[in-house]
Chain A
Amino acid sequence: MNQMTTVETSADTATLAELMIVAASEAWRDNGELLASGIGIVPRLGASLAKLTHSPELLMTDSETFLVEEPIPLGPRGDYVPKYSGYMSFDRVFECVWGGRRHAMIGPTQIDRWGQTNLSVVGGSYEKPKSAILGVRGLPGNSINHLNSMFVPNHGPRVFVAGEVDMVSGVGYRAERWAPGMKHDYLDLRLIVTDLCVMDFGGPDKWAGHGLRVRSLHPGVSFEQVQAATGFTLARVDDLRETPLPSAEQLAIIRRLDPHNLRATAVKGNPPAVRAAA
């Protein structure tokens, strides 16, 4: 499964998921030595790609209990044997979270203009929600303690909601929620990688709900299209560019890390990176 000669490595045929993996990997650039936690197929491959290319100093786990210096391929491993370099039980992950040396990327159900996220319940009332998801999980603690980025495979107004998210799980730049004495020094939201674009929180005034800013557009996507798919007004960088296509080297690494092509399930319909203009 590690025979790179047998896999297609042309950037012309890269999928959108592969482009998003490369974009996600950028979240972990220049973070220094910390635990890179990519939860889900695209974030995990993004973190793995970051470690294997521009940021070898990152720490990673086998997505279970042990630290590894060589990122583990996804899914059944055949005769691949992980080489452990250390230990990272859940207990120690919490200690890592509270000490701040972590950058996690997850896919929330809802995100609002303040960067607040929801993984708990959607619709109806809190007592009787229309849809119960997982629960707040570790989002309150993650968001207030260390770097966080987000992955959205279905950019639309149901994810990027007009008002506040229905149950604020991960905290954000919403001034009203921070009473005097509550420390938000460690709140640091970085990238949002969607199926349309890459965004950050470098907008004109993130504490007033104007933080979300489009950094790059995926091939064939317009800013207007992104704005129309978002429940609130977005900022944009002055030199708005196209999200880079994966290089042949990046594609080869991605395909080696994901030998069962689980990334094909990450975005609905598994579209190519370069889409025909709408």
Chain B
Amino acid sequence: MALNKEMSAADVVGQLRSGMTIGIGGWGPRRKPMALVREILRSGLKDLTIVAYGGPEVGMLCAAGKVKKLVYGFVTMDAIPLEPYFRKAREAGAIEVMEIDEGMFEWGLRAAGMRMSFLPTRCGLASDVLARNPQLKTVRSPYDDGEVYVAMPALRLDAALLHVNEADRLGNTLNRANDPLFDHLFARAAERCYVSTETLVDRFALDAASAKLNFFERYLVSGVVHAPFGAHPTYSGPDYGWDLEHLKRYNASAADDNGWQQYVAEFVACSEAEYLAKAGGAERLAKLKTPVF
């Protein structure tokens, strides 16, 4: 088989366009495809609609002026509850928002993956989610109960960016985290899905226990990027934990006048290899402990 979907992070960003709707997998400080996000930060892309269970990637993209619109239920880094650059952008009115319930968000991705126009849910009824998103409609059950639901519209993505533990060049992926989260739904909701991976091999030859950790089919995957520690500073269990020291520093930068510019100068305006060296190097990163809650 001639399939080889390996590409560089720059290749991925080269296939994205300004104005696209881009879904980002993970959840808060968990399993964010940060190497791909950093490549977007280095690019000329702009006017993006970002769809995410938001963590620091949302704050960074907002700080860099890449975001036109944000579709989200929250943005947080958990240990640091309030994401500083998201807050700045939100409070400045610098971004359009579609703020929805976490479950509505999942339903929107599912609807897109199933090629449905919407899926019904009670989540959002009687809240300001409907009032603040006048494009959201309700639908009445055609059955005897006549119940009224939110018709959660499909969240169709031009591209999805995900991070996994292992992949092969055909586009098969394994997620070894305790919680696979909703990454598979992002893959299904997207026209094209790009995956960064800790390890990359030509072709998997797995035992059954490992093969069960494959959560979406390779036909959904357009590109695979070998990016060790590619989720840093978020965590990617079981390989490494979050880098609280780095996240605190990132958080503190928002309090300085040129904090973002300084963060960019140090951690973005460089190659990914340089980034990892500046973040402490592979030896340090491999020892980062997964968080205890």
Contacts and interface: CB of A to CB of B under 8 A. Distances in A.
B90 to A, nearest CB: 4
Interface of B: 27, 54, 72-76, 81-82, 86-87, 90-93, 99-104, 106, 121-129, 131-132, 138, 140, 146-148, 178-182, 292-293
Contacts of A145: 122-123
Q: Which 9 A-B pairs give the minimum distances between C-beta atoms?
A: A181-B148, A141-B123, A135-B74, A128-B93, A132-B90, A63-B293, A140-B101, A141-B103, A168-B128
A94 B106 contact: yes
A168 B147 CA distance: 22
Per DSSP, are chain A's interface residues mostly helix, strand or loop, or mixed? Answer: loop
Contacts of A64: 178-179, 293
A278 interface: no
B182 A182 contact: no
B126 A181 contact: no
B128 A127 contact: no
A171 to B, nearest CB: 4
Interface residues of A, number: 51
Interface string A238-263: 00000000000000000000000000
A264 B139 CA distance: 48
A91 B122 CA distance: 17
Interface stretch (A4-12, A47-55, A172-180, A193-201): A172-180
Given A129-B90, A141-B101, A171 B126 contact: yes
Nearest to A138: B102
Contacts of B138: 179, 182
Interface string A82-107: 00000001110010011000000000
A16 to B, nearest CB: 22
Given A63-B293, A90-B179, A181-B140, A137 B27 contact: no
Contacts of B100: 136
A77 B131 CA distance: 44
Interface string A153-179: 000000000000001111100100111
A181 B120 CA distance: 14
A45 B75 CA distance: 25
A156 B179 CA distance: 38
Interface string A111-145: 00000000011001011111111111111110111
